[in-house]
Amino acid sequence: MTLLDKFKKMPSIDVNRLPVHIAIIPDGNGRWATRRGMPRSAGHREGANTMKRIVRLANEIGIKYITFYAFSTENWKRPESEVNYLMSLLKEFLQNADRELAGSNIKLQVIGDLSRLSDELQEEIHRVTENTSGNTGLNLIFALNYGGRDELIQAIRKIVKDAREGRINPEDIDEKTVSERLYTGGVPDPELLIRTSGELRLSNFLLWQTAYTEFWYTKKLWPDFSKKDFLEAIRVYQQRNRRFGGI
């Protein structure tokens, strides 16, 4: 069965013109659970399963980078029990990563300020990123304790330090100077951003990197987001006319 046969009933996409990097704000886990009379944690668990399905599909069709907004710098405002549950889900994924990612050639990367995460979690992250660092398939990027403003602040600190210590000349500071010092240094900007649950905002995600990103939204809640929806987002993206300020 060819890739095309497999996706016959799916939105048709041009595999030769795929976005290199897709960023996702997987929103609506809590509402999904509440609507079913279940605790919010059940929505997060289901959301983690959706994430795994989409990762497998992205890897299969040949996407090079996918970034998931897993935990924002603002998400600490949630009840401690919910924060702990989200962290435990993440730990579970990492602990099973050898199995989850086995044979998939996926490389795990993490962006954000990891220093606030538990030592145990940091160790797991370190272990899995090390173990998969040689992989050449999909780059799976988790944004953890990530905030676009926090990222810019730490980049500015690095630039000021480099300037003060004579490594860069303030006159020479350009877009590359900034890009290189972001958590995403070396990762191309996303061409496509997907947000579920009908919210139309960035919520402090990839502020710098989304300057020219195409947005695609759906009212579907993240646990209900399907492979078909993912391919539909790519199909719509492929029909967009990206002008970058030109005509």
Verify binding: residue 222, Mg ion, rule CB under 5 A: no
Residue (70 or 187) nearer to ligand IPE, CB: 70
Are 181 and 104 contacting, i.e. CB atoms less than 8 angstroms apart? no
Stretch of 2-10, 19-27, 45-53, 164-172 contacting Mg ion, by CB under 5 A:
19-27
Among 19, 27, 57, 214, binds Mg ion (CB under 5 A): 27
- How many beta carbons lie within 10 A of that of residue 123, not counting itself? 12
Smallest gap from Cβ 28 to ligand IPE, in A, equals 4
Q: Are 234 and 13 in contact (CB under 8 A)?
A: yes
68 makes contact with Mg ion (CB under 5 A):
no
Of 27 and 191, nearer to Mg ion (C-beta) is 27
Question: How far is Cα 168 from Cα 187, in angstroms, rounded to an integer?
Answer: 22
CA distance 149 to 162: 20
Instruction: Kindly identify the residues of this chain, within the stretch 14-33, that bind ligand IPE according to CB under 6 A.
Output: 25-31
Give min distance, CB of 34 to ligand IPE, in A: 7
3-class SS of residue 185? coil
DSSP run (H or E) holding 67: strand 65-72
- For binding to ligand IPE (CB under 6 A), which residues are involved? 25-31, 47, 69-72, 75, 86, 197, 199, 201, 203
